[in-house]
Amino acid sequence: MQYRKFGKLSWKPSALGFGAMRLPIVGGDSSKIDEKEAIRMIRYAIDNGVNYIDTAYPYHGGNSEVVVGKALMDGYRERVKIATKLPTWLVNTKADMDRYLEEQLLKLQTKKVDFYLLHGLNKERWKKIRELDVLEWAEKTISIGKIDYLGFSFHDDFETFKDIVDGYEKWTFCQILYNYMDTEYQAGLRGLRYAASKGLAVVVMEPLAGGILAFPSSREAQEIWNSSPVKRTPAEWGLQWVWNHPEVSVVLSGMSTFEQVRENVGSACRSGPNTLSEEELEIIHRVRESIRRHGYIGCGGCRYCMPCPQGVGIPEIFALYNEYNGVHGDAAQTAKVREKYKTTIIPEKSARKCLSCGQCESKCPQQLPIRSLLEKAAVVFESSR
């Protein structure tokens, strides 16, 4: 395993962090984790050098922290740092801050959280949480040993990111969305470099855009990958691109299968800052341009938009829409994706069920124009329904 710099701390994190947002589930219910398999995956990662485990209060319907706590029994807790997050949108008083943290400590079966984040900060949440004196609360909580270090995860524009970084001198780290498709989106490359210049460790989430970049997006993109003398899977190309940035401290991967853990651990062992050649970077650039030409919806499948009041299967529809865009122009392949839509998206969950209430857009951390995208998906997939 490769280890990297974590801001101003002497402790070094593994290049790969285990993101406990997409653990294996049972029966298609995201709140029902396959605990035995999830624990096996987490422990395999730790046994192979991973020392950073990331979870959060809402993941898997509140059950991610529980399973992480179980996985870290039998001596595994002492081998890792835990990162979890305060659900800022649920906090209305300082008492709420204490209550959520105490609940998280119980779920995780630990006396302290090593890295605690203010979850999903944007302009509005930052203003609200500051007015509730969250920073004063955090410093007091650190002083009594229930938190070691404070950071934040982020979903908004660069200027808001800069304001948050500059708004508190004692941040240890931040967590941002970053991948080769989203270099100018939200914090982006400017945010990555700005935070690092201020001495913050930078944890990267969605390095594969929720798994979208882990698979060939089109025949054209796969041909570009194949043209490289260096052979990698699309997933490894995406991860290595993020690891190539020296400002990155940890890359989180939300792994859902044991094989994904095995592959990503192996990839992390081959990683390093500034290790990709100009030719390899050009290959990635060509794939990026190919994906953009075909169409790209940056939905990571986080499911924060759910449940939809009308029952629309938003993440599933967008996954198929991305797949459709990837094969656009190939009549046989587009027909297969349309057929897959018909067999997997029941009429009660179809795009046409959207009433444009906008609740999903207010919850989407990627700030996607969900309503207009659903309209387009309905035209593509449901014109004959």
Q: Is residue 118 scored above 70 in pLDDT? A: yes
3-state DSSP assignment of residue 11: coil
Summarised one tens digit per residue, pLDDT across range 195-246 is 999 999 999 999 998 887 887 667 888 889 999 999 999 999 999 999 999 9
Q: How far apart are the first and last CA of the chain?
A: 51
Summarised one tens digit per residue, pLDDT across range 13-48 is 999 999 999 999 998 888 899 999 999 999 999 999
Q: From CA 118, how far away is CA 161, in angstroms rounded?
A: 13
Q: Is residue 374 scored above 90 in pLDDT? A: no
pLDDT score for 2: 98
Element of type H or E holding 173: strand 173-177
What is the architecture of the domain spanning 16-293?
Alpha-Beta Barrel (3.20)
Q: From CA 162, how far away is CA 78, in angstroms rounded?
A: 34
Q: Write the CA distances from 284 to 175, 223, 232, 264, 322, integer angstroms.
A: 23, 12, 12, 18, 19
134 half-sphere exposure, CB direction, 13 A CA radius: 31
Number of residues in the chain: 385
SS3 string, 273-289, reads CCCCCHHHHHHHHHHHH
- Specify whether the CB–CB gap between 12 and 3 falls below 8 A: yes
Q: Per-residue confidence at 263, pLDDT binned at 50, 70, 90?
A: very high
Residue 346 neighbours by CB under 8 Å, 6+ apart: none
Q: Which residues of 145-165 are buried (b: 16+ CB within 10 A; e: fewer)?
A: ebbbbbbbbbbbbbebbbebb
pLDDT score for 384: 58
Tokens of 254: 């939300």
Summarised one tens digit per residue, pLDDT across range 136-181 is 999 999 999 999 999 999 999 999 999 999 999 999 999 999 999 9
Does the reported pTM lie above 0.95?
no
pLDDT score for 323: 73
The mean pLDDT value for 62-75 works out to 97
Q: Per-residue confidence at 326, pLDDT binned at 50, 70, 90?
A: low
pLDDT score for 300: 66
Q: From CA 331, how far away is CA 323, in angstroms rounded?
A: 13
Q: Which amino acid is at 342?
A: K
Average pLDDT, the chain: 91
pLDDT score for 329: 61
